[in-house]
Amino acid sequence: MPILIINRRLVVLACAAIIIGIALYARQPDAEPSTTAVTEVPAAPVARYGPGAWTEPTRPPSIQAGSEYGTAPPAGLAAAADQQLVVNLALRDVFDHFLLSGPDGDSASRQSELIAYLRSKLPARACDEAAPILQHYLAYMTAHDNLLARQQLAAPVAGTTMSPQDIGRMNTWVEQRARLRQNMLGPDVARAWYQDEEMQLQQILADLQQRNDGTAPGDASAQERDGNAMHNMHIYGVNQAARLERQRQEAIDKARQSFATRAREEREWSIRYANFRHAAELIMRQDGISAVERQTRVETLRAQFFASDAERLRSMGMGI
């Protein structure tokens, strides 16, 4: 009997302890959130192969810089469905954009930026195929300037036509340059990059030679071209003829130009275009003038900054 009483007392005490514990817990304030709470950290971007494209975490700052003033790399890089590189004019334009711009003497940095850009735009296989083309192109640029320096090409004189001797020297240079391209770049790349340009220049030189010789065109196609030229002059007037003449002269001047000269002019162009765009944007933000007047002022400004048709067209293609 005493044992039963003791057991009942133990049960009562245990129940009382449980009730007291529950009451104390209920009276405690809510726990403050931990100052070391785990936060979700986004995964760092990782360069990887995607489905048919190479992706990079970010582009080099020098690639991003300049986009504001229309100096971003040209569009048009392409790869086939099997990720094979498409060798087109856009590839050459992108090469030139990086290799012929930037501070003088900074070729290693420009090449690094070009390679990074190609990786950001092309699949891995296409990048691998672009690498040897780039190396061949770099060697070609040096060989081109060295060969050009040995030519005796007369400097252009405003308002004068090329003499028969000058035309002969230019034809010799065009032939030598074509062989150099074939040998150093390969037939496929040379054809994709230069075929149309070379055919146009050869036709210009042939027309100049005929003009100097005073000979009438002998074939039907030449007569048709002359007939078309006379027809265009009749419709568009002398200004159209003068524009065509300037375009011919620009093609000849380009053929005389070294890569070193192009690089210097490209740097000057970037500065000039940046200044033009800044001034044009101020005009576009002016109040109190009509849209027609605003555009007229921009075009007047464009003519002041850019002397040639090619430069004006290039600036128009950049957005303003």
Helix (H/G/I), strand (E/B), else coil: 55: strand
The pLDDT value given to residue 158: 60
- Strand 54-55 vs strand 48-49: parallel, antiparallel, or unpaired? antiparallel
- Tens digit of pLDDT for each residue in 97-106? 999 976 665 7
Q: How far is CA 183 from CA 114, 135, 218, in A?
A: 24, 14, 34
Q: Which amino acid is at 125?
A: R
The pLDDT value given to residue 139: 97
> Of 52-66, 127-141, 170-184, which gets the smallest average pLDDT?
52-66
Buried b (16+ CB within 10 A) or exposed e, 9-35: eeeeeeeeeeeeeeeeeeeeeeeeeee
The pLDDT value given to residue 282: 94
The percentage of the chain sitting over the pLDDT mark of 90, rounded to a whole number, equals 49
Rounded (10°) CA dihedral 152, 203, 93, 169: -10
What does the DSSP 8-state code read for residue 79? Answer: B
Higher pLDDT, 239 or 180: 180
The pLDDT value given to residue 293: 95
Q: Compute the distance between CA of residue 176 and CA of residue 112 in angstroms, rounded to an integer.
A: 31
The pLDDT value given to residue 38: 29
- What does the pLDDT average to over 210-219? 67
- What does the pLDDT average to over 225-245? 63
- The model's pTM is 0.67
Q: Is residue 226 very low, low, confident or very high in pLDDT (cuts 50, 70, 90)?
A: low
pLDDT at 137 over 60: yes
- Tens digit of pLDDT for each residue in 28-84? 444 444 333 322 223 223 332 233 333 333 333 333 334 434 467 889 999 999 999
